[in-house]
């Protein structure tokens, strides 16, 4: 894990004004296993497999812009090169930017989004319950 040039741990905060944990205590990209593990100050651990992380790419090319759909909106079949994580750098103290084997490197993943989209069973159940409650 490389840190971006603007990273300064002295000014990095783990909390927002609402008390949410945003800055990870540990980030580990296991390239051989194809996973990205994030540990948060409250003890929660998030683990993304590489395909799931690639599907979350928030860049304009993948998600679209100016009313136009992005490439991922076409539901493509991702190749092994498109889901092989080769590098990841911190963006300031708020996000992570992975580089994929196909050269894609423009997705900036805010920590808040990585925490919100955690694929662990507890968070998946929490989001499903919240969505169900919103439909009533």
Average pLDDT along the chain, 136 residues, taken 10 residues at a time: 42 45 88 95 95 97 93 93 96 95 97 95 93 76
Bridge partners for 68 per DSSP = 65
Q: Report the relative pairing of strands 45-49 and 64-65 from DSSP bridges.
A: unpaired
Return the pLDDT at 70: 93
Q: Is residue 16 part of a domain?
A: no
User: Could you give the residue ranges of the DSSP H alpha helices within 9-103?
Assistant: 50-55, 60-63
Compute the distance between CA of residue 48 and CA of residue 17 in angstroms, rounded to an integer: 27
Q: Is residue 18 part of a domain?
A: no
Compute the distance between CA of residue 27 and CA of residue 83 in angstroms, rounded to an integer: 18
Return the pLDDT at 22: 76
Q: Is residue 79 part of a domain?
A: yes
Q: Is residue 85 part of a domain?
A: yes
CATH of the domain at 110: 3.30.2020.30
Q: Is residue 20 part of a domain?
A: no
What pTM does this model have?
0.80
Return the pLDDT at 18: 54
Compute the distance between CA of residue 115 and CA of residue 18 in angstroms, rounded to an integer: 15
Compute the distance between CA of residue 43 and CA of residue 136 in angstroms, rounded to an integer: 33
DSSP 15: B
Q: Is residue 2 part of a domain?
A: no
Give the total number of structural domains in the chain. Answer: 1
- The domain in which residue 79 lies consists of 26-131
Q: Is residue 4 part of a domain?
A: no
Return the pLDDT at 101: 97
Return the pLDDT at 133: 81
Return the pLDDT at 11: 35
Q: Which residues contact 74 (CB under 8 A, 6 or more apart)?
A: none
Q: Is residue 17 part of a domain?
A: no
């Amino acid at each position: 894990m490389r840190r971006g040039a603007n990273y300064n741990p002295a000014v990095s905060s783990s909390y927002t004004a609402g008390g949410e944990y945003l800055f990870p205590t540990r980030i580990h990209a296991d390239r051989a296993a194809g996973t990205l593990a994030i540990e948060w100050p409250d003890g929660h651990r998030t683990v993304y497999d590489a395909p799931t992380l690639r599907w979350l790419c928030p860049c304009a090319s993948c998600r679209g812009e100016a009313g136009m759909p992005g490439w991922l909106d076409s539901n493509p079949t991702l190749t092994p090169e498109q889901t092989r994580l080769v590098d990841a750098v911190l963006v300031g103290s708020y996000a992570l930017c992975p580089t994929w084997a196909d050269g894609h490197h423009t997705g900036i993943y805010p920590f808040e989004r990585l925490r919100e989209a955690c694929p662990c069973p507890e968070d998946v159940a929490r989001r499903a319950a919240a969505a169900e409650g919103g439909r009533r």
